[in-house]
Amino acid sequence: MATLVCFHAHPDDEVTATGGVIAQAHAEGHRVVLVTATKGEHGEIQPGVLEPGEILADRRVKELARACEILGVDHHHFLGYVDSGMIGTPENDAPDSFWQADPGEASARLARILRDEQADVLTVYDANGVYGHPDHLQVHRIGVRAAQEAGVPRVYEATMNRDRMRDQLLMAAKEPDAPPELIEMAETALTGEGLTMGSPAAAITTVVDVSPWIDVKRAAFAAHASQIAPDSWFLAMPDDQFAMAFGQEHFIRRGGPEGLTETSLFA
C-alpha cells in the first residue's frame, strides 16, 4: 500500500479537487495525508452559521476535521500560513499570508512533512492554480518545489477538464429549473473568453472515476457549511447531476510520458 499526500490551499478545497481520490484511496487501504496551507481565514461566510463570538478560522478548522473524518484522511497538517484572499485584495500583501511566503521556507516546511510521511504520491494544483487564486498558485509552486526536495516519485496536478465542464454547463443551463448562477456560468462559457479555469482535455493525463464514492464526496462538501450553503445550487442539484459534475477527478501527471492516459494515481 502507498501513502497519498494531498496539498491544498484552504479547508473545503480538498473535497472539490481530490475528495473522490481520497475516499477511494482510503477504501483501497492506502494511507492518506492532507496538508492545508491556510485556515481559510478570509473566506465568504454563509449567513447565520457562526456562533456568537466565533471566528471563521476556528469554524473552518472544525469543518475540515469533520470532512477529513468523512473522507478517510489518516493525518492532517496545517502548513502555518494565513489565507491571502482573492487576487487584488489587501489580504494579498499581509506578511503572514501564503502569497507572501518565502518559497524556500515554505517548500522546506512541506518537504519535511513529505519525508516524515514517506509520501509516494503528491497532488498539487495545475500551473494556473485551477482558477488563478493566489494561494492556489502558491500550492503549485511550493508543492512542485517541495516534491523535488523530498524526492516524491509521483506528482499530480489537480485540475478540471475545461472542455467537459463547458459542455456540462451548457446542457444543465437548458433545464427549465436551472438556477441563475448556473445560467450565468454557462453564458460565460459562451463568451469570447470562454472558461479559463482548469485545463483543456488534451492536457489531462489522468481521469479517475470516483462515482462509487460520490455520496462520501457530497457529505464532505456539506461538512463545510460556513462556505457551502445546503441550498446552494450544487448541493441542491439532483443526484444524477451531482454525479455528472463531480464523479470524475482530473489530473496532469508531472513528467509523464507523451500520450499517457491513466485511471488511477497508484497505477
- What is the 3-state composition of the chain as percent helix, strand, coil, each rounded to the nearest 5? 45, 15, 35
Cα Rg, the chain, nearest whole Å:
18
**CATH code of the region 3-160+200-253:** 3.40.50.10320
Q: How far is CA 100 from the centre of its chain?
A: 21
Task: Give the sheet arrangement for strand 3-8, strand by strand.
Answer: 75-78, 31-36, 3-8, 121-125, 154-159, 248-253, 206-209
| Cβ pair 69, 24 in contact under 8 A | no
Residue with cell 523530498: 150
Where do the CATH 3.40.50.10320 domains begin and end in the chain?
3-160+200-253
**Cα–Cα distance between 198 and 158 in angstroms, integer?**
9
**Cα–Cα distance between 115 and 253 in angstroms, integer?**
20
pLDDT in tens, the chain (267 residues): 999 999 999 999 999 999 999 999 999 999 999 999 999 999 989 998 899 999 999 999 999 999 999 999 999 999 999 999 988 999 999 999 999 999 999 999 999 999 999 999 999 999 999 988 999 999 999 999 999 999 999 999 999 888 877 766 666 556 666 666 656 655 565 554 555 778 888 999 999 999 999 999 999 999 999 999 888 877 888 898 888 889 999 999 999 888 889 999 997
